[in-house]
Structure 1
C-alpha cells in the first residue's frame, strides 16, 4: 500500500532584497530619536514631555516606513514589493519590465509603474563599477588557486565588482520576469495592493496630537 503523494511545496523560500544602507541608517536614526525623546520626557517640564511623546509617535512610524520596511520578496512565481506605505504583489507573468534609471521601477502588463524602494539606484556605485570594469584583469596571482571546501561551483559567488549593486539586483529581477514569459495584461486586477495602515495610522495620530499641542501652547 502506497502512501498518498504529498502536495507540491516550494523548493526554496523567498529571496529578499533590502537596502543595507537603509537598514543601518534607519536603526541609528531610531536610536537617536528614542534617546532624545526619552530625555525630553524624563527631564522636561510642563508641556515638553507631551510634545516629545507626540513627536515620537509621529517620527518612529515614518522612520520605520522609509528605512526598515522597504523590501522586495521574490520566488519563481511572483514578486511582492513592500514599499513605505503599501505592499504590492503580482505574478511574474504579469510583469512587463523591470528597469533602473534614477529610480528602480517595475512595470506591470497594463502599464502601471511600481517603484522599488528597497532597490536604490546609486550613481556613485555605478561610477565605481565603471572604473572597475575599465581596469585590465589581473594575471598570475590567484590563477588556479584552490580555495578549499565550501568554495566550489555551488557556493555563493561574490558580487561582480563591475556592476553596481542596484543594477545587479535589477538584472536578477528582470531575468525572473523574462523567464515567466510575455505578460498577459489582463488589467489592473492582476495585482493586489494593500495599504500599510499599521504604519500610517500612528503617524497621523501623532501628527494630529503634535499640531493640537502646538496650537494650544
Structure 2
C-alpha cells in the first residue's frame, strides 16, 4: 500500500496564456481595458455619492475626479492586474470596474476582483454578464481554477459568489490588514470540470426569454448554479 499518495496526473498540461489587454463583449455589456483618460471621469461620476461601495475595497472612497484618475493610472500600470471598465450596452454608459488578479498561468489559476459596480448596474443582467465574460475567457483559455475572494464580513459578496456558481472553500483568518482593519478572507472557486454545466446555467439565465416584460427573471441563477456547486457557504 502506498502511504504517500500523490494527486492524479494532469495529462497534456500546458499553462494557459496570461491575459493581455482585450475587449470582451456580450449581449448586455462590454468589458474594455481600463484607461484613465477615457474612463476615469465617467466612472467617478457613476460612483459618486456611493462611498459605501468602497467599504470592502482596498482603496477609496475617492472625493475628486483627479483622485480617482490617479488611482486608475496607478492600478493600470501594475502588470500583475488587468483592469476592465464595464459599459452597459443598453444605456451606453460606463458603470463598473473589475479586474483579473493573482494571475498564475503556471498553476492554471486566476482570480476576479476589485469589483465595483455602480448602483445602476447592480442586480441586473449587466453585472452578471460582466462576471460571466471574465470566467468564460479564463476557463475557455485553459485555466483550471477561477477564484473569488472577499472580506469574510462582506455578506453581499459572499451571496454573489454563491449565486454565480463559485463553491465555498473556507475562510483564511487574519489574512490581511486593509485600511488599518483586520480582514478574514472567504475563498470561493470554480474549477474547469464544473465549467460546462455552469456555462449552460449562464446561457439559460442570460437568455432574454428568461425575463418577462417587466424585466423580472423567470429562472433564478442561484437555482441553476446550485446544481453544480461543490460546496455551499454555510453562512448563507
TM-score w.r.t. structure 1 length?
0.24
Structure with the higher fraction of residues in helix conformation: 1
Question: Which structure has the larger Rg?
Answer: 1
- Structure with the largest fraction of strand: 2
